[in-house]
Amino acid sequence: MLFDKNIFSMIILYRPITIIKEENEISVKPNSREAILKTAAQLFFTQGYHATGLNQIIQDSKCPKGSLYYYFPSGKEELALECINSIKKIVLDKWKEHFGYKQNAADAIQSFIEALADDAVRSDFEGFMPFNFWMAAETSPISDKLRKTCQTVFAEWQSIIADHLVLGGIPADKAKEKAVVIVSLLEGALILTLTNKDKETLLTVSSYIPCIVNN
């Protein structure tokens, strides 16, 4: 499975803490930080930032309220920033994996997209798909901090693609352009895939990757 949910828990650093019990009954469980981040990322990236309330995160993560405010004292935006950075890394690692086992950059990009398509089917077109990053458009107008963090995510995804296109002999300026086209294509294709509940769009755009890379 391309984006196994367990991968997420692996990349979040476990920060051991002591259990705190204060007058006002704030309790913090060890492992809470990890559980909160995992739950929050899944909610933000499936139903969106606005639709996700702190109460739902607390409820779904089965963590005490105190943990959320202990680890993320600034609340939802801080939590979202951390989730976005984690997602960025998960997807970068996936790109590295595909570029690692395919010699040719176009082949690697196609294999990445096909794995995305399988993932979409497996999640019944509703589950957690880190590369599905429309949250960037949702949050951009309301928080410049979130917008800039999402901007970095797209830039780093483009950068790893461009670097591998350059390794394949494409001039740097063209490689940069093609990476922009490829990330745009995949983000849009994911919107259509989830709307149609059908992996066909992803497979169709995948078949156009050689054309984009080689022309």
**Whether the Cβ atoms of residue 134 and residue 187 lie closer than 8 Å to each other:** yes
User: In this structure, is the dihedral angle defined by the CA atoms of residues 71, 75, 81 and 84, taken in order, positive or negative?
Assistant: positive
Give the residue with the Cβ less far from its own copies, 110 or 201.
201
Residue 160 is a binding residue for its own copies (CB under 8 A): no
Provide the greatest CA pair distance for the chain. 67
Residue 127 β-bridge partners? none
Residue 205 is a binding residue for its own copies (CB under 8 A): yes
Among 10, 51, 167, 172, the residue binding its own copies under the rule CB under 8 A is 51
**Whether the Cβ atoms of residue 117 and residue 206 lie closer than 8 Å to each other:** yes
Give the residue with the Cβ less far from its own copies, 63 or 91.
91
The number of C-alpha atoms within 13 Å of 42 and in the hemisphere containing its C-beta is: 22
Residues 6+ positions from 145 with CB-CB distance below 8 Å: 77, 81
Smallest distance, Å, CB 21 to its own copies?
36
Residue 97 is a binding residue for its own copies (CB under 8 A): no
With contacts defined by CB under 8 A, name the span among 22-30, 72-80, 92-100, 206-214 that binds its own copies: 206-214
Residue 85 is a binding residue for its own copies (CB under 8 A): no
x/- string (CB under 8 A) for its own copies, residues 171-190?
------x--xx-xxxxxxxx
Amino acid sitting at position 160: I
Among positions 99-158, residues that touch its own copies (CB under 8 A) are 125-126, 132-134, 136-138, 140-142, 147, 150-151, 154
Q: Select from 84, 198, 82, 68 the least CA-distant residue to 135.
A: 84
Q: Select from 164, 7, 184, 174 the least CA-distant residue to 99.
A: 164
Q: Select from 156, 126, 123, 152 the least CA-distant residue to 140.
A: 152
Smallest distance, Å, CB 72 to its own copies?
21
Residue 196 is a binding residue for its own copies (CB under 8 A): yes
Among 11, 15, 30, 47, the residue binding its own copies under the rule CB under 8 A is 47
What is the signed CA dihedral for 109, 111, 117, 118, rounded to 10 degrees? -160
Q: What are the residues binding its own copies (CB under 8 A)?
A: 46-48, 50-51, 125-126, 132-134, 136-138, 140-142, 147, 150-151, 154, 177, 180-181, 183-192, 194-197, 200-201, 204-205, 207-208, 211-212, 215
